[in-house]
Structure 1
Amino acid sequence: MLVQDGLPTRERFRALLVIILGIVMAVLDGTIINLALPDITRELNATAAQSIWVINAYQVATLALLLPLAALGDIAGYRRVYLAGMAVFTLASLLCALADSLTTLALARVLQGLGAAGLMSVNTALVRLIYPKHLLGRGIAISSLVVATASVAGPSIAAAILSVASWPWLFALNVPFGLLSLWLGRKALPDNLSRSEGRLSPLDVALNALMFGLVFLGVDGLSVRIEAVPGGEPAGALWLPLAELAAGIVIGVVYVRRQLAQPLPLFPLDLLRIPVFALSMGTSIGAFCAQTLAYVSLPFLLLGNYGFSHLQAGLLLTAWPLAIVVTSPVVGRLIGRYSGGLLGGTGMALLSLGLVLLAVLPPHPSQLDIVWRMVLCGVGYGLFQSPNNHTIITSAPPHRSGGASGMLGTARLTGQTLGAVLLAMIFAMFDPQGGHGSFVALWLAAGFAAVAGICSALRMRQA
């Protein structure tokens, strides 16, 4: 089904449902398994260090294949890539649920990450096809809301499932939803009106996977070793993560030089020549880094510094995503009426202010003191995300929507990874349990949000 300017209302909602199902499953499976790691370690007779590969296998596979599959969407069609990704993800989820060893589970997670990359690489490009231009802002707002909500809902959903079932059900529940999405998606998802000419180079795909995979493993390994011993003294040998990081950088230099010489690069560096696109990418990386620094450190602050119970801390943290849920529909209507640079800059300013106010909380704050600051952060984040995503996807030519969608996902994962690594270093130098680690993380998060706001505001000069 080819479309000129969006789908009719009924078909649009059906197609959006398919995309929402895919986004929720792909994003949730990046975090939902964390809470089950102790059970997996015990039942599969693995060590805690080995069990981390259940997480890393998924993240590395997703990050390594996000851009190649986005480029494939530009060439072969976003619908085909999305449905193939859903089929692989659903099959891999079943294999994860049936895994009887850590090795088989990790391999199934690699396959699941491949499927997730297919879903996440082209979902925003499909939204651009589904919605007419004058309603595209609302469509991206819905997609951004789903990503933001799913990103922080993983632990809560995992806790609910694990309270009544064993860990394999975290994966098994994906199967019926995946099959439903495949059944609906075959008829509901539109096909590209125009496609890029060319083909994927196996060498470029391999270089892309090696670059992202080795860099991710290197920085993750360094953060784990630095965090292992308080005071910043590294624990264990550093040679392996340093070697991974160095190899990833060397491969990256070779890969980027190859890409710069190509008219239609797999790694769409040519899109960064568009000033608005480049500034939007900088805004996205800074914002996701700030969110990760803040949202992971806040439980330590609430539990360790202020002595709230786990239930109280969970409810207080919920104010942030709830504010995003309330803000996103309003922001979706503002897109197109006001500059994305203005909306994003204002949102990041509010987020930075909220983080600073959390960092200077009094020694014995009331729950209301914390809630309104959380709401301010959520409103700021909600004000930024949808307009920024809209700018990223619309500043690229229509036939490069897949590349832009892939870069959007890459910016999110890059920001989250950077935030996690910085937080590990902070907690290694400053005790997070009743110490200053959480406050340092919040100040740093406020700084990243401010830089993201500056990048966003600079876009107004490009309008």
Structure 2
Amino acid sequence: MTSPASAAPAPATDEKDPWPALLALCLGFFMILVDSTIVSVATPALIVDLQADVNAVVWVTSAYLLAYAVPVLITGRLGDRFGPRRMYLAGLTIFTLASLWCGLTDSIEGLVAARVVQGLGAALITPQTMAIITRIFPAHRRGRAMALWGATAGVATLVGPILGGVLVDWLGWEWIFFINVPVGALAFVLALRLVPRLETHAHRFDWPGVALSGVGMFLLVFGVQEGHELEWGLLVWAMIAGGLAVLVLFVAWQARNRHEPLVPLALFADRNFSLANIAITTMGFAITAMAIPLMIWAQVVRDLSPTRSALLLVPMAVMTIALARPVGGLSDRVHPRALTGFGFSAIVGSLVWLAAAMEPDGSIFWLVPPMLLLGIGNACVWAPNSTTATRNLPLRQAGAGAGVYNATRQVGAVLGAASIAVLMDARLAAEGLPAYGGGEAGASGVGVLPAPAAQAFSDAMAASMLLPAAVLLVGLAAALCFERPRHAGFGGSRGAGVPG
């Protein structure tokens, strides 16, 4: 049902080129995803400057991801109700102002609070980008459009640490947030001019679902991340169990809600949508988790500056960017299990290879080949998986589908940040080392370990890299079960094809 206050529908795609609108959306989307990983390279600087431990600094990332993940389920519906363009612009405004707050704060508690608000702004932005693409591009052209969107997601999460390293080295950690202010303003102007107003639809909002999902996620993530700090006492296990119980209640409520559930379980009747959500959850987990031990290892063990540490990721980012367009074209023709299956296999192999190469005295150039392989894998997962998730969904479910897909990705990222913090602490303890909290200053400007402890620290960080690799095996299994998309434009002249 179209609401009385609806704006006029956007012109058909054959009357107006949708690509400028997509490019405008990708700028804002790029900015908020960079902030998912940009803090990883600044972790040692934040530990020293704000006098915090590594677990507290990981909360700077976790708070953002948690505030991003929980409301994204309902913000997709808000876009359907009030217009995705309007919600996108509102999200940009909140995100940009919160970024200014982040840069001005002088305490770890203030930074975490500002990151929560930043995450709320990001939650408003993300589902609107995906829903607008679904609505302004016809199915037979959506593969290339979603390829650019997916490549933006992949590149942003990789560029975050690179950009962060340069800014931390030259201007200070505050500038990893200040940089968002001019970028956010530019993204706002471009979206105002280029993104069309789209038809809106009346919705009921599932507030009990919002409450249950929020409480469940908070209890689960807080319990996992603070478990080591609280010595895995009864309170920790009670929080984790309580979080899981609340999430079970959330799913049960979604099944019983006959009006408009926050997560329409009917979406999961589409096999590809269900599998793509599993796959992207593991990607969110892995990409967030792998950057933290790698950046700490580079700065603490190898005494690299933040910029030089971040440059380790350049081969990965360059390869992902270079392959974005050709992989996007293949997304409209090649069976998704072939592309994503290869991509997941490449990423798993690259992380195991990286773990083996993380030594205190080996050549840093031995990291380049696994980084190149990681970039190839990223290019073959982000865009094809995003395209596969939405390809078969009806347009009326665009907002709900986008919200669910982005929520699962962010849930993976939240759990990745929380889990890697726990594992790093555990591995350091197993190696007979204290939890990392800075030390003697070296070339990196942060804590550098004395030589006798360098091997033990390297072993701990390398072992931590194997966690995201193991989680990605679940994503690989999901990708290998994709079926052939059903729309008539897939695969060129072959038509709809049959599931396979």
What TM-score does the superposition give when structure 2 sets the normalisation length? 0.78
Decide whether aligned partners of structure 1 residues 171 and 261 sit closer, same or farther in structure 2, where only a CA change above 3 A counts: same
Matched letter for residue 214 of structure 1: L
* Post-superposition offset of 1:344: 0.8
- Tell me by how many angstroms 1:78 deviates: 1.8
SS in 1 for 2:71: helix
Structure 2 partner of 1:231: none
Q: CA deviation at 1:380?
A: 1.8
Question: Is residue 75–residue 199 contact of structure 1 (8 Å, CA) maintained in 2?
Answer: no
Aligned to 2:209: 204
SS at match of 2:347: helix
Matches within 5 A, 1:23-172: 23-33=29-39, 54-99=60-105, 105-172=111-178
Q: Is 1:376–2:373 an aligned residue pair?
A: yes
Instruction: Identify the residue that residue 230 of structure 1 maps to in structure 2.
Output: none
Q: How far apart, CA to CA, are the structure 2 residues paired with 1:328 and 1:100?
A: 39
The 3 A distance-change label for structure 1 pair 287 and 111 is closer
Contact 1:142 1:328 in 2 (8 A): yes
Q: Is the 8 A contact 2:276 2:388 kept in 1?
A: yes
Q: Provide the secondary structure at the position in 1 that maps to 2:263.
A: coil
Q: 1:212 to 1:201 in 2, by over 3 A?
A: same
1:158–1:134 Cα change, 3 Å: same
SS in structure 1 of the partner of residue 70 of structure 2:
helix
Whole-angstrom CA distance in 2 between matches of 1:7 and 1:213: 45
Q: Is it true that 1:389 corresponds to 2:412 in the alignment?
A: no
Cα displacement string for residues 44-71 of structure 1 (whole angstroms, at most 9, x for unaligned residues): 7878776665444322221221111122
Whether 1:250 aligns to 2:250 is no
Is 1:285 equivalent to 2:309 in the alignment?
no
How far does residue 114 in structure 1 lie from its aligned partner after superposition? Answer: 1.0
CA distance, structure 2, for counterparts of residue 313 and residue 100 of structure 1: 25
Question: After the TM superposition, which residues 313-392 of structure 1 pair with which residues of structure 2 at under 5 Å, given as runs?
Answer: 314-359=310-355, 369-392=366-389
**Residue 2 (structure 1) aligned to one of 6, 9, 25:** 9
CA distance in 2, matches of 1:252, 1:125: 26
Q: CA RMSD in A?
A: 3.4
Aligned residue pairs total 450
Amino acid at match of 1:395: N
CA contact (8 A) 1:5 1:133 kept: no
The unaligned stretches of length 5 or more in structure 1 are: 226-234
For residues 108 and 79 of structure 1, what CA distance do their matches in structure 2 show? Answer: 24
Task: Identify if the C-alpha distance between structure 1 residues 160 and 80 changes in structure 2 by more than 3 Å, giving closer, same or farther.
Answer: same
SS at match of 1:251: helix
Contact 2:217 2:243 in 1 (8 A): yes
Residue identity matched to 1:409: N
Asked if 1:402 is matched to 2:405, the reply is no
Structure 2 unmatched runs, 5+: 1-7, 434-453, 485-498
For 1:56 and 1:374, the matched residues in 2 are separated by 25
SS at match of 2:162: helix
- Which of these residues, 404, 415, 418, is aligned with residue 418 of structure 1? 415
Moved more, 403-412 or 289-298: 289-298
Deviation string 1:342-371 (CA, Å, 9 cap, x unpaired) is: 211122223233344445569886666542
SS in 2 for 1:183: helix
Tell me which amino acid in the other structure corresponds to 2:322.
Answer: V
Give how far 1:79 is off.
Answer: 1.7
| Paired position in structure 2 for 1:434 | 455
Contact preservation (8 Å) 1:74, 1:400: no
Structure 1 contact 207–252 (Cα < 8 Å) conserved: yes
What secondary structure is seen at the aligned counterpart in 1 of 2:381?
Answer: helix
In the TM superposition, what is the alpha-carbon distance from 1:443 to its structure 2 partner? 4.6
Q: Which of the pair is proportionally richer in helix?
A: 1
Q: TM-score, normalised by structure 1?
A: 0.83
Distance 1:99 1:417 in 2: 23
Alpha-carbon separation, structure 1, partners of 2:174 and 2:420: 30
Q: Larger deviation: 139-148 or 262-271?
A: 262-271
Deviation, structure 1 residue 409: 1.8
**Aligned-residue offset at 1:387:** 0.7
Q: Is the 8 A contact 1:342 1:460 kept in 2?
A: no
Q: Verify the 8 A CA contact 2:277 2:409 in the aligned structure 1.
A: no
* Structure 1 stretch displaced more, 212-221 or 105-114: 105-114
